[in-house]
C-alpha cells in the first residue's frame, strides 16, 4: 500500500541579506495510514518548520524552495490555494504545543470548534453543527460536553484546553493528524491521559499521526517509526524499537545519554557539549561533527548522506556503527 504522506527532498529556506538560510534541508519521510511517525529533535532542528511546510503555512520570509509533499496521491505543494484550504483542517488536522495560546479567549470553545466545521461544510445547520461539536467534545472525553460547549477557554484547565484542540483538529475526521509537541506544556498525569486518548482515537479512526516532540519518552510510548532531526536534516530513521535498541547516529546516542532515566542511577548524565548550530552558521561537513565525540578528520569535509544500516534503518554518519571504530 502506498504511504498516505510522502515527503521527498523537502527544503524550506528563509530569505536573509546574506542569502537563503535553510531551516529544513532535504528531508524525505513517509507515514502510512494508521501509523505514527515520531519526529524527534531539540529546538531549532527544524521539526516544527517541517510540519508547517507540509501544511503550507511557512511564515514569511520563509518559503519551500524544493521537494514534494505527496498526500494521498496529490502533491500539496503544487495545489492551488483553494484546493489546499480544503485539505488543511479537513484532511490534515493539526494540534499545537500551547493550548493556552492557540484558542481565542473571546469566543466560546463551541464557537471555535464549529467555525472549522462550517468552513468545510457551509450548508450545515447551526443545530447540526452544535450536535457534531458536542459529539467531538465527547469523543475527547470532556465530561458534560453539552455544558462545556458554551465555556470560554479560561474556564478550562490546560489538559481540557488541549482536549478541545484535539477535538477541533479531529472534527472533520482527518486522515492525518500533525501533533506538534501536544503534551509539552502539560503535567505528567494529564500528558498520560492525552497520549492514551490519541492512541485510542487512532485505533478507532485509522488516521496517521505525525508526532513532533523533543521527549524520547513520548516517542517510545507512541511512535511506530522515528526520525531524528538535527540542524534541518534527518540524521537517523528507524522503527520505534530500533531507535532505542540499536541507536546508530552519535546524536541519537547523545540524546539517549542525556535523559535521566527513572530506573537507573548514574552519577552523571552523558550530556552533549555545545548547542545546536544556527541555520546561518552551519559547520562544514557533517553538521553534528563539532559536538560529536566520534568525529574524525573526514567528518569535517564529508556531509554524510543517510545510508542503510539494517532493515528499515538508516543513519547519516560515516562512523556508524561506532563499535567498529579502532580505539
Partner 1 sequence: MTGALMEVAGLAKHYPVRRGLLSRITGQVRAVDGLSFELFRGETLALVGESGCGKSTTARLVLRLIEPTAGTVRFEGADITGLRGDAMRKLRRRMQIVFQDPFASLNPRMTVAEILEEPLIVHSIGNGAARRARVAELLGLVGLAPYHAGRYPHEFSGGQRQRIGIARALAVEPALVVCDEPVSALDVSIQAQVVNLLKDLQARLGLSYLFIAHDLAVVKHVADRVAVMYLGRIVEIGPKDDVFANPRHPYTRVLLSAIPRPDPHRKLARSAAGSETPGGDVPSPANVPPGCRFHTRCPFVIDRCRAEDPALHDIEPGHLSACHRAEELPAAAAMETVQAAAPAAARRLALYAERRATQQAAG
Interface stretch with partner 1, choices 22-30, 75-83, 93-101, 248-256 (CB under 8 A): 248-256
Nearest Cα residue to 69 out of 48, 53, 92: 53
Shortest Cβ distance from residue 5 to partner 1 (Å)?
A: 22
Interface stretch with partner 1, choices 77-85, 91-99, 121-129, 252-260 (CB under 8 A): 252-260
Shortest Cβ distance from residue 323 to partner 1 (Å)?
A: 6
Candidates 294, 296, 302, 313: give the one binding partner 1 (CB under 8 A). 294
Interface stretch with partner 1, choices 20-28, 62-70, 132-140, 249-257 (CB under 8 A): 249-257
Shortest Cβ distance from residue 235 to partner 1 (Å)?
A: 14
- CA 77, CA 135: separation in Å to the nearest integer? 33
Site residues for partner 1, window 202-241 (CB under 8 A)?
Answer: 214-222, 240-241
Site residues for partner 1, window 296-325 (CB under 8 A)?
Answer: 321-323
**Of residues 123 and 267, the one with the C-beta less far from partner 1:** 267
Shortest Cβ distance from residue 289 to partner 1 (Å)?
A: 13
**Of residues 92 and 272, the one with the C-beta less far from partner 1:** 272
DSSP-derived pairing of the beta strands 314-315 and 36-40: unpaired
- CA 278, CA 207: separation in Å to the nearest integer? 35
Shortest Cβ distance from residue 20 to partner 1 (Å)?
A: 24
Candidates 28, 132, 244, 313: give the one binding partner 1 (CB under 8 A). 244
- CA 73, CA 53: separation in Å to the nearest integer? 17
Nearest Cα residue to 108 out of 149, 146, 159: 149
The site map against partner 1 for 169-208 (x = CB under 8 A) is ------------------xxxxxxx-xx------------
Candidates 92, 160, 169, 306: give the one binding partner 1 (CB under 8 A). 160
SS3 for the chain is: CCCCEEEEEEEEEECCCCCCEEEEEEEEEEECCCCEEEEECCCCCCHHHHHHHHCCCCCCCEEEEEEEEEECCEEHHHCCHHHHHHHECCCEEEECCCCCCCCCCCCCHHHHHHHHHHHHCCCCCHHHHHHHHHHHHHHCCCCCHHHHCCCCHHHCCHHHHHHHHHHHHHCCCCCEEEEECCCCCCCHHHHHHHHHHHHHHHHHHCCEEEEEECCHHHHHHHCCEEEEEECCEEEEEEECCHHHHCCCCHHHHHHHHHCCCCCCCCCCCCCCCCCCCCCCCCCCCCCCHHHCCCCCHHHHCCCCCCEECCCCCEECCCCCCHHHCCC
Site residues for partner 1, window 58-97 (CB under 8 A)?
Answer: none
**Of residues 26 and 217, the one with the C-beta less far from partner 1:** 217
Residue 158, interface with partner 1 (CB under 8 A)? yes
Candidates 105, 273, 311, 326: give the one binding partner 1 (CB under 8 A). 273
Interface stretch with partner 1, choices 51-59, 87-95, 147-155, 247-255 (CB under 8 A): 247-255
**Of residues 58 and 216, the one with the C-beta less far from partner 1:** 216
**Of residues 73 and 143, the one with the C-beta less far from partner 1:** 143
Please count the residues of the chain. 327
Is 117 within 8 Å of 171 (Cβ atoms)?
yes
Site residues for partner 1, window 103-132 (CB under 8 A)?
Answer: none
Chain residues that interact with partner 1, rule: CB under 8 A: 42-43, 157-160, 187-193, 195-196, 214-222, 240-241, 244-248, 250, 253-263, 265-273, 275-276, 293-294, 321-323
Amino acid at each position: 500500500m502506498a504511504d498516505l504522506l510522502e515527503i521527498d527532498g523537502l527544503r524550506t529556506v528563509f530569505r536573509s541579506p546574506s542569502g537563503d538560510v535553510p531551516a529544513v534541508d532535504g528531508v524525505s519521510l513517509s507515514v502510512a495510514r494508521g501509523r505514527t511517525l515520531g519526529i524527534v529533535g531539540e529546538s531549532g532542528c527544524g521539526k516544527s518548520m517541517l510540519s508547517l511546510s507540509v501544511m503550507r503555512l511557512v511564515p514569511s520570509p520563509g518559503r519551500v524552495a524544493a521537494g514534494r509533499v505527496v498526500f494521498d496521491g496529490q502533491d500539496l505543494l503544487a495545489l492551488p490555494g483553494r484546493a489546499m484550504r480544503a485539505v488543511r483542517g479537513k484532511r490534515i488536522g493539526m494540534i499545537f504545543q500551547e493550548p493556552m495560546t492557540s484558542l481565542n479567549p473571546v469566543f466560546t470553545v463551541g464557537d471555535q470548534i464549529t467555525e472549522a466545521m462550517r468552513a468545510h461544510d457551509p450548508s450545515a445547520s447551526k443545530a447540526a453543527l452544535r450536535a457534531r461539536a458536542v459529539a467531538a467534545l465527547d469523543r475527547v472525553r470532556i465530561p458534560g460536553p453539552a455544558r462545556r460547549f458554551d465555556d470560554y477557554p479560561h474556564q478550562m484547565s490546560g489538559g481540557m484546553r488541549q482536549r478541545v484542540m484535539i477535538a477541533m483538529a479531529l472534527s472533520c475526521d482527518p486522515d492525518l493528524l500533525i501533533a506538534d509537541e501536544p503534551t509539552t506544556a502539560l503535567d505528567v498525569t494529564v500528558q498520560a491521559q492525552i497520549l492514551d486518548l490519541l492512541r485510542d482515537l487512532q485505533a478507532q479512526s485509522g488516521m496517521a499521526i505525525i508526532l513532533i516532540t523533543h521527549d524520547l519518552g513520548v516517542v517510545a510510548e507512541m511512535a511506530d517509526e522515528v526520525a531524528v532531526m538535527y540542524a534541518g536534516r534527518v540524521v537517523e530513521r528507524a522503527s520505534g524499537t530500533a531507535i532505542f535498541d540499536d541507536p546508530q547516529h552519535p546524536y541519537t546516542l547523545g540524546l539517549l545519554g542525556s535523559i535521566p532515566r527513572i530506573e537507573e542511577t548514574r552519577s552523571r548524565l552523558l550530556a552533549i557539549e555545545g548547542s545546536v548550530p544556527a541555520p546561518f552558521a552551519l559547520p562544514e561537513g557533517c553538521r553534528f561533527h563539532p559536538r560529536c565525540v566520534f568525529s574524525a578528520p573526514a567528518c569535517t569535509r564529508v556531509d554524510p548522506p543517510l545510508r542503510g544500516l539494517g532493515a528499515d534503518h538508516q543513519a547519516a554518519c560515516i562512523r556508524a556503527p561506532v563499535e567498529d571504530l579502532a580505539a
